[in-house]
Structure 1
């Protein structure tokens, strides 16, 4: 652990309010066998300098016998909401983690003991601005669901409408903010010290996670998500999204309509209620595919606990804390990938993967070989015959093996599609998501070549070309001004230049000490010839001897 790292960490965590939480994180990581990780990041050095002692030998033999992925998952669970959500996000990163780790992180649960209503009643009254009995005819003080971020109570408005009241857990924001600060600092440190870690874009990943988590903490944001989905499906009677009661909704609480139906995890009740599982599977898939391929705005967590089956084979969706967004450009890329796969166009698929990777260096020969192998597995298949989950896992494996990186918005999409196909197959063993995807893909491809789309693309292309040409004189004039002023600058990013500078500094110190030692030897030799000054000559020789020992020791310690 270098002093540069320790200094950086000490400066980073100098805010006293974060030190207790950092100590808690480090202690949990050590207990679950991740002490080396704590050492590498210098967390132990920082805490011990702050007077907080870590117990490095707290692991039990039972924990030692567990697989690393299991120990990692258990540590995240103990660290609380931020790290549970981080683990759930990592479970979508099939491009970074091996399948065994993905499977383990998928087990992370946000279910925690509920907070007694007496402890949050004052906050609820403050958010409502009036007593409970002036808003609700009845209110169940015992929640029927409790998660790491919020808990949910059933209630009834004065007009008889049945609602659910979602209340954020008290004191959560402060702890989450501290966790996010620590994660941001650690990501910066990791990228600064380990060049190979930069390809994973850890700082960007933490920033993306921060935005997603803070949005999920804001229950008002969730309410806005629900309103937008209601508008997108206003003409579809088979979809139900709870109505929001805005008069009682804020960032700390939202009040929404209670859907009356069968939770998606209770499959045994579906047929008993007279519902058709085949129709439910098809309608559910069409809903999510419309969100992704048409609207570009989708429910990012369509697992059985967030789906309800309603009378008339309708689908109800709940819990919109996590949503995904796809730009028009990204949707076109996704369609292009599927189209390239079906048409066996290797070059098109490679180009899309390279676009996703950005500016990172890629072994294009290996990538082309792996894409050819992938294509061979799906050769002569129609889109309706493709298993979507298997395809996405194959693509994620290819990306991982070639050190590519999947864009963050697509990681949520991949996870949502895999979850959706699994849910459909629970309802109907013969369910094929690709059967329903094929018409959407065909329609989107056809829309590319309509007269309106062609005219729109042409206008956009002409506009961009005109802007480039029109701005060229201005850019050239600016460049020439900088040259005349002597302010033209070329930035070079020389990796590890800081380490090189430290090596030069140490070498110059040794040279200086060597010159000083030689000077002492020569000067002492002269002084020894002068009567009455021989004692000073002996002192000079002694100092030269000590200096030479220091130089030899420093060279030996550095291995140079």
Structure 2
């Protein structure tokens, strides 16, 4: 059996298509799932899926009947033309039509190769939404509320035509009173209410999935949707993006070649972000106009990689979406990082684990590789650790004898993801984000410089981090800190333990892995003994009955006694055959 068949998308889709007609039980789906305020949005979601040839999933979820009874008819037209498309393409098109929440959720899933198979990943990477800019007349009331005045009075030369429009907001240009050019990122009016309704639906669907589909619980849909909800809510808060931009700017203050735009705090709000205007050419446009390896390409690739890697391994907070549209180039090989709405955070412990994984690969330490992967996956009871160790050995053998600077980091991380997915493990969200950033960084670097080698950039940082991690001073410091933490927390832990014991809630759980199998064997043996005893009694009884000269006779033998004796022999032969077969197994 293909071990990769446990991929989340394949299993999830199979369960939804094969689930009972309603997976929520006797109560109405609308009563259990959704408040009345979300009924209209629920109808829109269900109709969109139905129009894309996914009506069977809507019906299996039990949504079509209650919606129609509530007076919300579903629109099924157009499904026939789309049925010939692959399922993942129809899902992608449906997500695009459903708006920013579902587009961004699909984009999140596209960063999880540990959950989705490659065809779903490729399809979801194509997710985008054609956005029509909001007319300035509709933006004006919100801007006046946030700024306390008409923006055309506060800014000189405010351009009512947007420079760009996205699913969350759009960008306009203007000038401050001192003549400096600025850009205003304005959140789309009313988008928070729609996003919150979508998130409520997604969160309830995730809870329902964990309750009713045990096979999917291990993929932690509730945890995944909660993480997505938090990320999207943070992205809606433009004041948080302003703080992230300022923090990354302070961390890069010593780098004379990389910067982020200045935040104009005076005008920045939750729904409005004002930044200093940055002139330059996007990395995508620059790569389109220049041959790889020419001009300042290699220098730009090196400086960009150094900046991102410093954020990851030194600062612990990094730009999580460095695609070519978010990186601008300026003269003298200078770079500007735009759109700090998506940031990743990597704890010191996670950085150490990542370094340990790289070291374990090149030192052929399969035990450490398995330990890191299991630690990332959390409490996974169904993992076959022996099979995981075999895969780890095969993974390590592929890089045996290679030096850190001589391998393709994307290939190494891709193999790690494959091993995680095939063994039913799940990467933590911060590691999935990190792997995606490495892929973006490596791809952009190769567009600028065909000889770009991300691994050689990581090598000195990794070696320095490993030396610091294993230095005597740091080891003693960590041990002292751990011991101090243990001493601090011990009284609280003991108090909680005694409180549970006093309330009768203290449980001791003992698991013997092979005990159920042992019990089955005992039961099987007892059944055989019972059948054997009954068979022996039948043989003895029928033998006595065959000596009685009464009743129908066959060849001088009583018929009833003969039949009983033959039946007993057949049962005994069957029991003997069963014992012989179990012995061969």
SS in 1 for 2:25: helix
Structure 2: how far apart are the matches of 1:138 and 1:99? 48
Task: Report the RMSD for the aligned CA atoms in angstroms.
Answer: 2.1
| Residues 472 and 418 of structure 1: CA distance in aligned 2, closer, same or farther (over 3 Å) | closer
Structure 2: how far apart are the matches of 1:391 and 1:149? 35
2:200 corresponding residue in structure 1: 181
Q: Per-residue displacement from partner, 1:162-215 (whole Å, max 9, x unpaired)?
A: 111100111101110000000011111111111011011000000000000000
1:129 corresponding residue in structure 2: 148
Structure 2: how far apart are the matches of 1:184 and 1:277? 45
Matched ranges for 1:185-264 at <5 A: 185-264=204-283
Alignment check: 8 A CA contact 1:143 1:151 kept? yes
TM-score by length of 1: 0.83
1:450 aligns with 2:467: no
> Of residues 460, 470, 485 in structure 2, which corresponds to 1:464?
485
Matched ranges for 1:505-520 at <5 A: none
Alignment check: 8 A CA contact 2:352 2:469 kept? no
> Of residues 256, 279, 288 in structure 1, which corresponds to 2:299?
279
Q: Per-residue displacement from partner, 1:457-485 (whole Å, max 9, x unpaired)?
A: 121122134346555764564455335xx
Alignment check: 8 A CA contact 2:185 2:272 kept? yes
Alignment check: 8 A CA contact 1:41 1:189 kept? no
1:49 aligns with 2:49: no
1:409 aligns with 2:430: yes
Structure 2: how far apart are the matches of 1:258 and 1:269? 23
1:33 aligns with 2:78: no
Structure 2: how far apart are the matches of 1:93 and 1:457? 32
Matched ranges for 1:93-172 at <5 A: 93-172=112-191
1:343 corresponding residue in structure 2: 363
Larger displacement relative to structure 2 (441-450 or 237-246): 441-450
Alignment check: 8 A CA contact 1:284 1:315 kept? yes
Stretches of structure 1 lacking an aligned partner (at least 5 in a row):
493-560
Stretches of structure 2 lacking an aligned partner (at least 5 in a row):
1-20, 511-585
Q: Per-residue displacement from partner, 1:313-336 (whole Å, max 9, x unpaired)?
A: 111000111111111111111111
Q: How many residues align?
A: 487
SS in 1 for 2:156: strand
Larger displacement relative to structure 2 (186-195 or 111-120): 111-120
1:19 corresponding residue in structure 2: 39
Structure 2: how far apart are the matches of 1:178 and 1:147? 20
Structure 1: how far apart are the matches of 2:215 and 2:235? 32
Q: Per-residue displacement from partner, 1:239-282 (whole Å, max 9, x unpaired)?
A: 1100000111001111001111111111244689x951001001
Alignment check: 8 A CA contact 2:111 2:121 kept? yes
> Of residues 403, 406, 422 in structure 2, which corresponds to 1:382?
403
| Residues 377 and 249 of structure 1: CA distance in aligned 2, closer, same or farther (over 3 Å) | same
Larger radius of gyration: 2
Q: Per-residue displacement from partner, 1:42-75 (whole Å, max 9, x unpaired)?
A: 22233133232224464133x1221212111111
| Residues 225 and 469 of structure 1: CA distance in aligned 2, closer, same or farther (over 3 Å) | closer
1:60 corresponding residue in structure 2: 80
1:366 corresponding residue in structure 2: 387
SS in 1 for 2:173: strand
Cα deviation, residue 125, structure 1 = 2.1
Structure 1: how far apart are the matches of 2:494 and 2:441? 53
> Of residues 429, 445, 454 in structure 2, which corresponds to 1:433?
454
| Residues 309 and 472 of structure 1: CA distance in aligned 2, closer, same or farther (over 3 Å) | closer
Larger displacement relative to structure 2 (151-160 or 262-271): 262-271
Cα deviation, residue 157, structure 1 = 1.1
> Of residues 282, 285, 297 in structure 1, which corresponds to 2:317?
297
| Residues 11 and 343 of structure 1: CA distance in aligned 2, closer, same or farther (over 3 Å) | same
Alignment check: 8 A CA contact 1:191 1:198 kept? yes
| Residues 490 and 36 of structure 1: CA distance in aligned 2, closer, same or farther (over 3 Å) | farther
Structure 1: how far apart are the matches of 2:23 and 2:310? 54
TM-score by length of 2: 0.80
Structure 2: how far apart are the matches of 1:475 and 1:20? 47
